[in-house]
């Protein structure tokens, strides 16, 4: 159903918070996502020409790298990109079949692959490039927010987080309810000035990015122990040291 | 955006078909169609064949054409779904019009008038829905603007008008439909020029800085893409025709889709017999061919915000 | 939608029932299976998508791998997996896996092979090897690569009787290992790590990824969470450097100078931890000042060989280890024997206070401003001394003194190949250790810490052995070791190298890890002597692992006048269709890491942490589906067939059934075997009788074992009585003596004395100057060797490589997922530099070194030192290798920088290596760049002819739809 459900009062807004201050661009979240999801809810995530020229594949998470600024102010930033589970997801509204939908209970945007006709209109409608087309099977796929993990009773409580979050070796990825201002992720966003991508599009992404922190160059007063008379070595001649 | 043959065929053929139906309905209602029990029938049938061909072509774009029937379900939000519903709905007044016309022996009747107006309205609504599929795509600034809706409507009326003029010329040697087509052609030409001007002179609100949110640090440049080879998104949404190539194609589109049909239709109206028929035929064929090029450009000149992430301009 | 017939759907074993289609037309509802069964079996093991040794939990469904996740209980990765480890499934299902033993039928490199049975393969190998062993065992050169079984392979080589054994460390990071072991008794590399939980400042030199892939990432995240400052010294600003608080974009090869300028500043401002120095280092030891004699520069020792220091109270030279003495650190002292002596500290202070090391002097060469150098020196001093980290933890030192607290200098350092892969790397690494020691920042809270089983005595083991190589006999000692001076060099009576790689000769006196990069060339040249069989294991020497693939191919295919190969036999064990396979005569196909038992042993490169020793195993997780065998099983089998001592029982029958049997029953010395956990009855740790249930206990525990030292033993391990006692009890160290860290290295001075004309063993005339310069007993900086021999103006740019985080050398181009991330590589250069050359992104250029030319595409960037270009390592592949299509991007747009490097210095007389350790000097490379002509082919060059596919390899699929759990989803109508 492609009408965006009006969130029930207190309904969760599940999403990711990605810390660009610690992401080192290792691609772990991307390959782990692929690994989990290729046998997961939207299985498989096919690869075309996997061993030939022009290899390509369906990935729900892709890691870019950018440079911003020049000179001393310049920075290199690694930038994971996946579905932002928008609150106003046109990818859902444009879908003619109801295959693309947003869950009322937690806001997760999913594709029902059994009824998707593969018109790809949702891919056009997503500003963020988060829709991934299974060209071989002719259906649209995308980040599921690991819906088959986060509620999975076959997993221990601590494991009920998205694969990309569980594996991130720098713990740059956080998962939680961004609708609850008290949640750990909301607090993090508030503290660190988390922001949404392309707000001008009006899609109201749920996911947030934490900006790289400003780098202060700690100025330390120079220690005033410089040479006295008679050369530097003399300072140590009468130093009483005990082994 | 990648121009795919199926979508180009879909929009141009269905546009021409529904445009032709719109003219047929309107002129029938006004009693301006050439007389004859079969004329209206032929006009409607040709229009619906064109439209059906377009709709059929659209299914070739689908990953699962056998599930196309599902596409009529989400008319509450989806312009594509609305387009599907509208196009099917339009067949009813269209076929009714043909029947009424035939029953009325090619003369005006209330039924003809009512069904004519309904056909006109339904056909235009369908074309408007098609236009809105594109105009509603916010990430594509070349589509998401006010000119796309009139452009689609006028293109449909111009090309549909040329087709109807051809049938009319073949039927009775001459017809006032031609003037209507010429007028629509002119209007379409102006809107198209306006659309090109718009996309050439405006730029999108989104930038690599807003896409990444890193603008506060300074100018943002893409260093490495996630994968070294092209992916679906770049092939599909990142396709862009070169500037020089686009310029040449715009001239072709302008000439074929608008200027030539206008001149040829005018000639057909002034001439008679085989030369007139030949001119009308050329006008219709060129209008369709020109719109193919125009539509190809409509995609190939369109950019999607996703390419911002890859360091390209959108 | 077009469906191809070449679809591979590994894992899709169960049929999929399509759901009913008529449900919920207007309001379709997907019924999402929220709690699907993930797997029917979970097996733990150890990842081997790189050498980091993370713990994994492999989920299997109907025998197919569903998911590999990090083991949350594992000490190395604590539940996380990196980008490579997460792609393990695709390694297992790679079409490039070898399938059966191969025997070469065409010329080497032609790729023409015949599949043979194992019996025939082992028969051939036994034939070649037994003939060598009976005649001249050193004619077997057995070298291994990225394996983790060096305790087995080195022992096998010893029992075979050849001195010609080493792993790949000589071209990898021996500079780090050796510099650390000669200085601290531990090292960066794998034998230490920053105190991630406590450090307030991390200074990291030349690290892109390192072996501790996940631990470093976890650690850096920890630093960032705690707000510690992280400074990365690296010519390139990617990866870790990208998130550092400060990036110091240094010019390659100048870190030594930069670090010694920091040392200059600390000394100048008197910000050094003198108490630490006299307690734990040889700062106060007396060095004899007798220029021109053979005692000059050696420590003054008593009759028992104990080093002496000047006691200010007694006014005499006494045992430097005397507790509570008041050592002089400055002054010149008259000794009882009439000689004069100066404390190490004074020599050091004089040296580094000199203007040569002033920040102003370093600034230009390093490309780092004097202001920055001074500021960083002040920052680390401030953190070390003004913000000490004090733990209220009692401990006892080796003199029996009880300390109420552990006082830490929370400045940690780490360094890797950006330092080691230069010909001045050994000394640069020593310079960093010197810096740590001046701050008192070794194994204290918040500083760099030893990882178990380190620290070890300096030196940690006996010298290398090559003499006594006798037909049909084992060697009297291990091939690799730690020379104390020229007398330990492996030279024959004429001064010629005893080893094929010339390790431990005057080419590389402290080549503690051997010199694999010289083996192929030396063997083909028959210099120092010809060999008969080259036996390689897990090292892609025919391509990315050799300094120059062209040189490697030439050596492997060189023929003598009689048309015979100069290296008559090449045996190679690989698991995949690598470039090197094509040049082997006999290929022994190995299993994947998920198909075999492995042993990550304390005798090799264990997973110990600062908290205590640990080791681990791999267990087979998926059954074998091909006619391949674990290499260790094969080696044990060959050992038995050859009748090697230790591999056969008294009755001549094989002593070990297979590798797991060896892992449990083998004892290197009584009570010490490959695995330290659950020995004896299962309750002994470290030392104990073999336990037949040992492997089961490992499996029960997630395939690893670890032991925690008590809190009082966790810092100051080099002088911590509780630690040393326990480590000794566990068999980790030979005694409980304090390990005194060596600011001043006497072994180096011994080599220098030889270069000065002292002693019976002296370097040849043409090497003296180089030895004298490199064997400075105090850390020194000299420019990278190659750069002093070429015209700098002709090659203005430094060229280096970096490890991509999502690729491991050659291993992963066959991995359907990882290759998508890096299927090709670019040469990155500074935007400014590129603009000056008229270059834009993706332009084709020629990169030209003194020996080679490579055509490739460029990418311009901001975050790189302006005179430096770089690329990702190991992406370029030879066309036809790795079961990839001939026109794969890896071959057509990918390239190796190695084609520009040479294993020889200009003149061809000397290896392009660190003159101390023989470490390959990959990053000394200098190049220039010229734009390629417009009409040139858009393809990387050189393009050696494509390799022919191996026999009977599966055809790679065109579409891969891997799914280990076909969907059981249903549709449900809501209306
Ligand atoms: N330009 C440049 N070149 C470099 C470096 C650099 O920094 N720059 N780094 C150098 C360094 S430090 C190193 S360590 C080397 C690494 O280079 P190598 O040691 O050559 O490592 P790889 O090429 O990754 O792997 C060697 C072989 O091991 C095989 N292999 C993988 N798994 C298994 C297995 O389970 N069993 C068996 N039997 N074989 C297996 C692979 O198929 C491959 O052919 O590269 C060196 N080359
Ligand atoms: N993902 C992944 N992990 C790996 C490997 C892999 O192939 N892939 N290989 C493994 C192996 S075999 C090894 S040896 C380790 C090596 O691990 P690293 O030491 O991280 O190896 P490199 O990528 O060679 O890193 C060299 C770094 O030093 C910088 N550098 C080069 N020259 C200089 C210099 O003169 N000064 C300074 N300060 N920096 C310099 C380079 O820019 C680069 O960032 O990694 C291991 N881990
Ligand atoms: S796993 Fe973490 S550090 Fe690695 S790319 Fe993803 S977010 Fe960045
Ligand atoms: S990111 Fe794209 S796919 Fe995801 S919800 Fe937003 S619009 Fe839809
Ligand atoms: S591709 Fe599928 S999910 Fe996307 S709009 Fe079309 S039917 Fe909906
Ligand atoms: S939430 Fe799950 S599906 Fe989405 S990117 Fe992370 S791992 Fe992939
Ligand atoms: S760092 Fe990655 S590839 Fe290496 S062992 Fe750990 S998980 Fe495996
Ligand atoms: Mo290495």
B235 in C contact zone (CB under 8 Å): no
3-state secondary structure C88-135: HHHHHCCCCECCCCEEECCCCCCCCEEECCHHHHHHHHHHHHHHHHHH
Cβ neighbours of A35 in C, within 8 Å:
67-68, 86-89, 817
pLDDT at site A10: 80
pLDDT at site C972: 28
Nearest by CB: C861 against B67, B73, B223: B223
Query: Checking DSSP bridges between strand A14-19 and strand A208-210, what pairing results, if any?
Result: parallel
Q: What atom in ligand 6 is closest to the CA of residue A82? A: 5
Task: For residue B175, name the pLDDT band (cuts at 50, 70, 90).
Answer: low
CA atoms of C507 and C170, how far apart (whole Å) = 13
pLDDT at site C962: 95
CA atoms of C499 and C465, how far apart (whole Å) = 10
Contacts of residue C89, defined as CB under 8 A and 6 or more positions apart, other chains included, come to A35, A38, C65, C68, C962
Max intra-chain CA distance, chain A: 89
pLDDT at site C21: 45
Separation in Å, CA C653 to CA B181, C124, C157, C673:
99, 20, 20, 21
**Pairs of CB atoms within 8 A across A/C:** 328
Residue of chain C whose alpha carbon sits nearest to that of B223: C861
Instruction: Give B60 to chain C, closest Cα distance, Å.
Output: 9
A97 Cα: distance to centroid of ligand 5 (angstroms): 7
Q: Give percent above pLDDT 90 in chain C.
A: 94
Interchain proximity C823–B227, CB inside 8 Å: yes
List ligand 4's pocket residues with C-beta within 6 A.
A 83-86, 89-91, 109, 126, 128, 130-131, 142, 203
Q: What is the DSSP string of C365-404?
A: HHT--HHHHHHHHHHHHIIIIIS-EEE---EEBTTS-EES
Q: Average pLDDT for residues C842-855, to the nearest whole number?
A: 98
pLDDT at site C189: 86
Instruction: Give C743 to chain A, closest Cα distance, Å.
Output: 16
C207 Cα: distance to centroid of ligand 2 (angstroms): 5
- Look over chain C and give the mean of its residue pLDDT values, rounded to a whole number: 95
Task: For residue A217, name the pLDDT band (cuts at 50, 70, 90).
Answer: low
Query: Checking DSSP bridges between strand C959-960 and strand A47-48, what pairing results, if any?
Result: antiparallel
Q: Average pLDDT for residues A225-232, to the nearest whole number?
A: 57
Query: Given a cut of 80, is residue A228 above it in pLDDT?
Result: no
Q: Which of A27-41, A169-183, C15-29 has the lowest mean pLDDT?
A: C15-29
Q: Average pLDDT for residues C400-416, to the nearest whole number?
A: 97
pLDDT, tens only, C583-608: 999 999 999 999 999 999 999 888 99
Query: Given a cut of 60, is residue B148 above it in pLDDT?
Result: yes
End-to-end CA distance of chain A: 79
Query: Given a cut of 60, is residue C184 above it in pLDDT?
Result: yes
Closest CA to A213 of A197, A193, A199: A193
pLDDT at site C973: 27
CA atoms of B285 and C161, how far apart (whole Å) = 88
Q: Which of A203-217, C197-211, C846-860 has the lowest mean pLDDT?
A: A203-217
List ligand 2's pocket residues with C-beta within 6 A.
C 50-51, 84, 172-173, 205-211, 213, 233-236, 250, 252-253, 255, 416-418, 422, 800-803, 805, 807-809, 870, 874, 923
Asked if residue C164 has its Cβ within 6 Å of ligand 7, the reply is no
* C406 in Cβ contact with C391 (< 8 Å): yes
Which residues between 118 and 147 in chain A have a beta carbon less than 8 angstroms from any beta carbon of chain C? 118, 135-138, 147
Interchain proximity A70–B219, CB inside 8 Å: yes
Cβ neighbours of B229 in C, within 8 Å:
820, 823-824, 889
Q: What atom in ligand 1 is closest to the CA of residue C172? A: 12
Q: For residue C678, give the DSSP letter.
A: T
Query: Given a cut of 70, is residue A221 above it in pLDDT?
Result: no
Q: Would residue B132 be called left, alpha or beta, if left means φ above 0 and alpha means ψ between -120 and 50 degrees? A: alpha
Which ligand sits closest to the CA of C176?
A: 2
SS3 content of chain B, % helix, strand, coil (to 5): 75, 0, 25
Task: For residue C148, name the pLDDT band (cuts at 50, 70, 90).
Answer: confident
C-alpha atoms less than 13 angstroms from C-alpha of C646 in its C-beta half-sphere: 21
Nearest by CB: A62 against B63, B81, B226: B226
Query: Given a cut of 50, is residue B282 above it in pLDDT?
Result: yes
CA atoms of B309 and A128, how far apart (whole Å) = 8
Closest CA to C265 of C392, C373, C420: C373
CA atoms of B163 and B51, how far apart (whole Å) = 12
Query: Given a cut of 60, is residue A12 above it in pLDDT?
Result: yes
Q: Average pLDDT for residues C496-506, to the nearest whole number?
A: 97
**Pairs of CB atoms within 8 A across B/C:** 30
Return the bridge partners of C797, or none. Answer: C927
B138 in C contact zone (CB under 8 Å): no
Asked if residue C803 has its Cβ within 6 Å of ligand 7, the reply is no
Query: Given a cut of 60, is residue A55 above it in pLDDT?
Result: yes
Query: Given a cut of 50, is residue C16 above it in pLDDT?
Result: no
* B107 in Cβ contact with B34 (< 8 Å): no
Residue of chain B whose alpha carbon sits nearest to that of A56: B231
Query: Given a cut of 60, is residue A144 above it in pLDDT?
Result: yes
Nearest by CB: A67 against C381, C862, C883: C862
pLDDT at site C154: 96
Pick the residue whose CA is nearest to atom 12 on ligand 2. C172
pLDDT, tens only, C87-143: 999 999 999 999 999 999 999 999 899 999 999 999 999 999 999 999 999 999 999
CA atoms of C342 and A29, how far apart (whole Å) = 57
Query: Checking DSSP bridges between strand C41-46 and strand C614-618, what pairing results, if any?
Result: unpaired
3-state secondary structure A171-183: CCEEEEECCCCCC
Residue whose token pair is 């690296």: C234
Q: What atom in ligand 7 is closest to the CA of residue A28? A: 2
Instruction: Give B6 to chain C, closest Cα distance, Å.
Output: 13
Asked if residue C213 has its Cβ within 6 Å of ligand 7, the reply is yes
- Range C945-948, long-range pairs (CB < 8 A, 24+ positions): C945/C879, C946/C878, C946/C879, C946/C880, C946/C886, C946/C891, C947/C109, C947/C111, C947/C579, C947/C582, C947/C878, C947/C879, C947/C880, C947/C881, C948/C110, C948/C111, C948/C112, C948/C582, C948/C880
Separation in Å, CA C949 to CA A75, C104, C111:
45, 13, 7
Q: Which of C16-20, C601-605, C829-833 has the lowest mean pLDDT?
A: C16-20
pLDDT at site C352: 97
Helix (H, G, I), strand (E, B), or coil: what is residue C773?
helix
Instruction: Give A107 to chain C, closest Cα distance, Å.
Output: 14
Interchain proximity C822–B226, CB inside 8 Å: no
Tell me how crowded residue A53 is: count the other CB atoms within 10 A of its CB: 17
Q: Average pLDDT for residues C333-351, to the nearest whole number?
A: 96
Q: Give percent above pLDDT 70 in chain C.
A: 97
What does R_g of chain B's alpha carbons equal in angstroms?
21
- Regarding an ipTM greater than 0.90, the answer is yes
Interchain proximity A76–C863, CB inside 8 Å: yes
pLDDT at site A9: 77
B243 in C contact zone (CB under 8 Å): no
- Look over chain A and give the mean of its residue pLDDT values, rounded to a whole number: 93
pLDDT at site C7: 60
Q: Which of B95-109, B133-147, C929-943 has the lowest mean pLDDT?
A: B95-109
CA atoms of C518 and C548, how far apart (whole Å) = 11
CA atoms of A136 and A48, how far apart (whole Å) = 8
pLDDT, tens only, C536-545: 999 999 999 9
Mutate to test the pocket of ligand 7, among C46, C71, C85, C621 (most ligand atoms within 8 A of CB): C85
CA atoms of C627 and C622, how far apart (whole Å) = 14
Interchain proximity C961–A101, CB inside 8 Å: no
Q: Which of B138-147, B176-185, C391-400, C621-630 has the lowest mean pLDDT?
A: B176-185
Here the tokens at position C448 are: 């760099």
B62 Cα: distance to centroid of ligand 5 (angstroms): 9
Query: Given a cut of 90, is residue A216 above it in pLDDT?
Result: no
Instruction: Give A237 to chain C, closest Cα distance, Å.
Output: 5
Q: Give percent above pLDDT 90 in chain B.
A: 89
Asked if residue C810 has its Cβ within 6 Å of ligand 1, the reply is yes
pLDDT at site C17: 47
pLDDT, tens only, C620-631: 999 999 999 999
* B163 in Cβ contact with B16 (< 8 Å): yes
pLDDT at site A218: 58
* B42 in Cβ contact with B36 (< 8 Å): no
pLDDT at site C236: 98
* C111 in Cβ contact with C950 (< 8 Å): yes
Asked if residue A130 has its Cβ within 6 Å of ligand 6, the reply is no
Task: For residue C22, name the pLDDT band (cuts at 50, 70, 90).
Answer: very low
Q: Average pLDDT for residues C256-282, to the nearest whole number?
A: 97
C214 Cα: distance to centroid of ligand 7 (angstroms): 7
Pick the residue whose CA is nearest to atom 5 on ligand 3. A25
Task: For residue C18, name the pLDDT band (cuts at 50, 70, 90).
Answer: very low
C198 Cα: distance to centroid of ligand 8 (angstroms): 29
Query: Given a cut of 60, is residue A230 above it in pLDDT?
Result: no
pLDDT, tens only, C463-482: 999 999 999 999 999 999 99
CA atoms of C532 and C683, how far apart (whole Å) = 47
Query: Given a cut of 60, is residue A114 above it in pLDDT?
Result: yes
Interchain proximity B223–A118, CB inside 8 Å: no
pLDDT at site B35: 82
Interchain proximity B229–A69, CB inside 8 Å: no
Query: Given a cut of 70, is residue A77 above it in pLDDT?
Result: yes
pLDDT at site C24: 81
pLDDT at site C378: 97
CA atoms of C945 and B274, how far apart (whole Å) = 66
Query: Given a cut of 80, is residue C511 above it in pLDDT?
Result: yes
B217 in C contact zone (CB under 8 Å): no
Pick the residue whose CA is nearest to atom 4 on ligand 4. A83
Query: Given a cut of 70, is residue C164 above it in pLDDT?
Result: yes
Interchain proximity B306–A126, CB inside 8 Å: yes
Strand-by-strand arrangement of the C140-144 sheet: C113-115, C102-104, C586-587, C569-573, C533-537, C140-144, C165-166
Helices and strands (H and E) in chain A: how many: 6, 11
Pick the residue whose CA is nearest to atom 8 on ligand 7. C85
C208 Cα: distance to centroid of ligand 2 (angstroms): 5
pLDDT at site C361: 96
pLDDT at site C754: 98
């Amino acid at each position: 159903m492609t009408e965006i459900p009006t969130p029930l009062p207190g309904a969760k807004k599940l999403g990711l918070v990605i810390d660009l201050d610690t992401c080192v661009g290792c691609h772990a979240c991307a390959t782990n996502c692929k690994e989990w999801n290729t046998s997961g809810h939207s299985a498989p995530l096919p690869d075309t020409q996997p061993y030939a020229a022009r290899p390509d594949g369906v990935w729900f998470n892709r890691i870019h790298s950018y440079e911003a600024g020049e000179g001393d102010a310049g920075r290199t930033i690694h930038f994971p990109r996946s579905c932002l589970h928008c609150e106003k997801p046109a990818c859902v509204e444009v879908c003619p079949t109801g295959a693309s939908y947003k869950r009322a209970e937690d806001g997760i945007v999913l594709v029902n692959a059994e009824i998707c006709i593969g018109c790809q209109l949702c891919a056009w409608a997503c500003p963020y490039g988060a829709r991934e087309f299974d060209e071989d099977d002719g259906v649209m796929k995308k980040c599921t927010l690991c819906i088959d993990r986060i509620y999975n009773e076959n997993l221990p409580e601590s494991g009920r987080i998205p694969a990309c979050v569980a594996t991130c070796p720098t713990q740059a990825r956080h998962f939680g309810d961004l609708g609850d201002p008290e949640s750990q992720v909301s607090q993090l966003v508030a503290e660190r000035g988390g922001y949404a991508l392309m707000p001008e599009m009006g899609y109201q992404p749920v996911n947030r990015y934490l900006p790289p922190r400003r780098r202060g160059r700690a100025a330390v007063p120079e220690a005033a122990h410089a040479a006295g008379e008679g050369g530097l070595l003399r300072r140590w001649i009468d130093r009483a040291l005990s082994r | 955006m990648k121009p795919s043959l199926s979508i180009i065929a879909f929009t141009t053929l269905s546009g021409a078909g529904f445009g032709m139906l719109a003219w047929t309905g309107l002129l029938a209602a006004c009693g301006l169609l050439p007389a004859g029990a079969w004329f209206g029938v032929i006009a409607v049938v040709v229009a619906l064949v064109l439209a059906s061909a377009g709709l059929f072509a659209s299914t070739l774009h689908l990953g699962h054409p056998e599930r196309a029937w599902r596409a009529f379900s989400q008319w509450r939000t989806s312009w594509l779904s609305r387009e599907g519903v509208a196009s099917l709905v339009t067949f009813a007044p269209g076929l009714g019009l043909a029947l009424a016309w035939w029953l009325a022996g090619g003369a005006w009747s209330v039924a003809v008038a009512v069904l004519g107006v309904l056909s006109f309205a339904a056909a235009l609504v369908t074309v408007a829905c098609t236009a809105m599929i594109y105009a509603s795509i916010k990430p594509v600034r070349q589509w998401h603007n006010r000119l796309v809706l009139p452009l689609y409507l006028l293109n449909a009326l111009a090309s549909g008008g040329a087709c109807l003029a051809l049938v009319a010329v073949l039927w009775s040697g001459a017809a006032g439909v031609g003037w209507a087509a010429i007028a629509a052609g002119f209007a379409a030409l102006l809107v198209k020029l306006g659309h090109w001007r718009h996309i050439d002179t405006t730029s999108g609100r989104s930038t690599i800085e807003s896409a990444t949110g890193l603008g506060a640090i300074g100018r943002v440049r893409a260093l490495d893409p996630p994968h070294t080879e092209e992916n679906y998104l770049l092939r599909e949404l990142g396709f862009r025709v070169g500037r020089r190539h686009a310029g040449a194609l715009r001239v072709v589109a302008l000439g074929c889709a608008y200027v030539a049909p206008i001149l040829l239709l005018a000639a057909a109206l002034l001439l008679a017999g085989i030369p007139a028929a030949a001119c009308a035929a050329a006008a219709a064929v060129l209008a369709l061919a020109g719109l193919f090029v125009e539509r190809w450009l409509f995609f190939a000149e369109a950019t999607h915000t996703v390419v911002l992430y890859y360091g390209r301009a959108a | 939608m077009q469906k191809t017939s070449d679809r591979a759907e590994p894992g899709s074993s169960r049929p999929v029932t399509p759901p009913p289609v008529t449900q919920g037309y207007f309001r379709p509802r997907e019924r999402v299976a929220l709690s699907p069964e993930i797997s029917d079996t979970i097996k733990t093991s150890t990842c081997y998508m790189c050498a980091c040794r993370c713990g994994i939990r492999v989920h299997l469904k109907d025998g197919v791998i569903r998911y590999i996740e990090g083991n949350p209980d594992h000490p190395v990765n604590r539940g996380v997996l990196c980008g490579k480890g997460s792609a393990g499934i695709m390694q297992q299902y790679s079409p490039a896996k070898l399938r059966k033993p191969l025997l070469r039928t065409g010329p080497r490199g032609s790729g023409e092979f015949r599949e043979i049975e194992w019996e025939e393969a082992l028969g051939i190998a036994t034939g070649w090897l037994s003939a060598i062993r009976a005649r001249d065992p050193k004619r077997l050169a057995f070298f291994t690569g990225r394996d983790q079984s060096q305790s087995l392979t080195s022992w096998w080589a010893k029992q075979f009787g050849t001195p010609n054994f080493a792993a790949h460390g000589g071209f990898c990071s021996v500079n780090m290992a050796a510099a650390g072991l000669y200085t601290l008794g531990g090292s960066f590399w794998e034998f230490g790590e920053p105190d991630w939980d406590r450090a307030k400042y991390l200074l990291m030199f030349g690290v892109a990824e390192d072996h501790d892939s996940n631990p470093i990432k976890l650690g850096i995240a920890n630093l960032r969470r705690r707000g510690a400052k992280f400074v990365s010294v690296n010519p390139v600003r990617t990866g870790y450097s990208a998130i550092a608080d400060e990036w110091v974009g240094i010019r390659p090869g100048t870190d030594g100078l930069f670090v010694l300028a920091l040392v200059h500043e600390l000394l100048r401002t008197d910000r050094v931890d003198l108490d630490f120095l006299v307690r734990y280092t040889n700062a106060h030891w007396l060095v004899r000042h007798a220029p021109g004699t053979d005692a000059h520069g050696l420590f003054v020792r008593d009759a028992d060989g104990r080093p002496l220091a000047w006691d200010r109270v007694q006014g005499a030279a006494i045992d430097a280890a005397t507790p509570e003495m008041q050592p002089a650190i400055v002054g010149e002292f008259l000794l009882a024997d009439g000689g004069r002596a100066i404390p190490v500290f004074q020599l050091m202070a004089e040296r580094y206070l000199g203007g040569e090391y002033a920040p102003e002097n370093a600034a230009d060469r390093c490309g780092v401003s004097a202001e920055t150098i001074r500021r960083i020196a002040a920052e680390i001093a401030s953190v070390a001394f003004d913000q000490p980290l004090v733990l209220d933890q009692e401990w006892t030192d080796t003199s029996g003194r009880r300390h109420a607290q552990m006082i830490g200098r929370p400045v940690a350092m780490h360094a890797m190949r950006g330092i080691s892969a230069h010909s001045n790397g050994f000394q640069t690494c020593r310079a960093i250790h010197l810096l740590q020691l001046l701050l008192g920042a070794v194994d204290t809270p918040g500083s760099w810490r030893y990882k178990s089983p380190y620290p070890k005595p300096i030196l940690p083991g006996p010298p290398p052995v090559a003499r006594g190589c006798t037909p049909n006999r084992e060697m009297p000692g291990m091939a690799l070791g730690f020379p104390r001076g020229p007398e330990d060099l492996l030279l024959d009576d004429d001064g010629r190298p005893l080893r094929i790689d010339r390790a431990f000769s005057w080419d590389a006196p402290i080549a503690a890890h051997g010199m694999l990069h010289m083996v192929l060339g030396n063997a083909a040249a028959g210099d120092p002597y010809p060999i008969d069989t080259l036996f390689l294991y897990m090292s892609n020497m025919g391509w990315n692992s050799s300094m120059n693939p062209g040189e490697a191919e030439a050596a492997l295919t060189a023929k003598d006048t009689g048309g015979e190969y100069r290296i008559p036999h090449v045996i190679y064990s690989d698991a995949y269709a690598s470039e090197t396979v094509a040049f082997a005569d006999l290929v022994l196909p190995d299993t994947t890491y998920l198909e075999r038992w492995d042993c990550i042993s304390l005798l090799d490169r264990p997973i110990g942490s600062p908290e205590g020793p640990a080791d681990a195993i791999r267990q087979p997780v998926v059954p074998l589906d091909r006619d391949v065998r674990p290499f260790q099983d094969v080696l044990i089998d060959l050992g038995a067939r050859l009748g090697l001592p230790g591999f056969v029982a008294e009755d001549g029958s094989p002593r070990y059934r297979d590798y797991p049997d060896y892992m449990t029953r083998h004892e290197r010395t009584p009570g010490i075997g490959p695995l330290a956990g659950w020995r004896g009855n299962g309750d002994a740790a470290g030392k104990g009788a073999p336990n037949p249930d040992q492997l089961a206990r490992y499996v029960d525990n997630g395939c690893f074992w670890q032991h925690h030292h008590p809190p009082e033993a966790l810092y100051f391990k080099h002088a911590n009585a509780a630690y040393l006692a326990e480590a000794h009890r566990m068999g980790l160290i030979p005694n409980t003596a304090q390990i005194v860290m060596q600011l001043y290295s006497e072994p180096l001075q011994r080599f220098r004395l030889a270069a000065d004309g002292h002693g019976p063993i002296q370097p040849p005339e043409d090497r003296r100057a180089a030895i004298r310069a490199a064997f400075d007993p105090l850390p020194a900086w000299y420019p990278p060797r190659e750069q002093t021999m070429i015209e700098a103006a002709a090659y203005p740019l430094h060229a280096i490589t970096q490890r991509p985080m999502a690729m491991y050398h050659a291993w992963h181009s066959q991995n359907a997922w990882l290759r998508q991330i890096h299927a090709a590589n670019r040469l990155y250069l500074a935007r400014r530099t590129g603009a000056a050359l008229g270059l834009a992104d993706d332009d084709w250029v020629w990169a030209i070194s003194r020996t080679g030319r490579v055509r490739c595409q460029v990418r311009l960037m901001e975050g790189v030192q302006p005179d430096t270009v770089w690329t990702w390592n190991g992406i370029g592949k030879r066309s036809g290798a790795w079961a990839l299509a001939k026109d794969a991007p890896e071959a057509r747009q990918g390239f190796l920088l190695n084609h520009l490097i040479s294993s020889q210095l200009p003149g061809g007389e000397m290896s392009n290596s660190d003159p101390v350790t023989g470490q390959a000097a990959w990053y000394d490379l200098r190049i220039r760049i010229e734009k390629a002509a417009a009409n040139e082919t858009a393809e990387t060059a050189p393009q050696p002819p494509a390799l022919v596919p191996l026999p009977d390899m599966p055809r790679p699929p065109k579409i891969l739809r891997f799914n280990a759990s076909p969907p059981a989803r249903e549709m449900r109508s809501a209306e």
